[in-house]
Amino acid sequence: MDIRKKIFKKYDKFSLAEFKDEKDKLRSEIKKLLAEYSDLDSNCYHILGLVDFESDDWKVNIEKSIRNFKKAIELDETNVLPQLYLAHCYHDLNQLELALENYNKVDKERLKEFQIWRYTKLIEQIGYCEYKLGNKEIGEQHFEEVLEWYKKLPEIDRVVPSELIECLPKNHRIVTEMKKIETYLE
């Protein structure tokens, strides 16, 4: 089997693994395979970033994830996922200015074509950053766009609008309408 296929197959197992021991073992195997692979491309660096980002001790490894996502972007600026995950790193570190800057670099049209749920979540995350940085009106405009998408998307293409719910008052019109669509939010 081609080593690249082996790496991606192991990463698929890693992403589906539910238990820490299994994830840790697969993470180690993936890193070993990538260390032996001489032709690391954007996707390889993206995976390196993900295996540290998706760990219980992600805060310990966040700088490695950031470096790997940046390297992935450097190698292929059209690879939208490393750009998205770089923004997620800054978001998780509560560095909202950097998060917003990097969310805005994501090619939204490519992301929308790839997975619409990621696109709507991106719009929500941009809204969250704007709102928390004091640009509440701009944040609300993004949340309004998220609501419009939720109205027309099938349930399978929607994710929990947690940032929207966190920012807006419970009686805000957008929250009220979102609760009509996502009844589990009650």
Q: Write the pLDDT tens digit of every residue in 127-142.
A: 999 999 999 999 999 9
Over the chain, what is the mean pLDDT?
94
Q: Flag whether 130 is in a domain.
A: yes
Token representation of residue 186: 């009650």
Percentage above 70 pLDDT, the chain: 99
Please tell me the predicted confidence (pLDDT) of residue 56.
82
Q: Return the DSSP state at 71.
A: H
pLDDT at residue 184, as a whole number: 86
Is 125 a residue whose pLDDT tops 80? yes
Question: What is the C-alpha separation between 145 and 72, in angstroms, rounded?
Answer: 30
Average pLDDT over every residue of 54-83: 94
Q: Is the pLDDT of residue 168 over 90?
A: yes
Tell me whether residue 46 is in a domain.
no
Evaluate whether 39 touches 46 at the Cβ level (below 8 Å): no
Band (1; pLDDT cuts 50, 70, 90): low
pLDDT digits (tens, 9 = 90+) for 135-163: 999 999 999 999 999 999 999 999 999 99
pLDDT in tens, 15-38: 999 999 999 999 999 999 999 888
Which bin fits 22, alpha (ψ -120 to 50), beta or left (φ > 0)? alpha
Number of domains in the chain: 1
pTM exceeding the 0.95 threshold for the entire prediction: no
Domain carrying residue 137 = 107-186
**Is 157 within a domain?**
yes
Please indicate, yes or no, if residue 97 is contained in any of the structural domains.
no
Tokens of 17: 């693994």
* 169 falls within a domain: yes
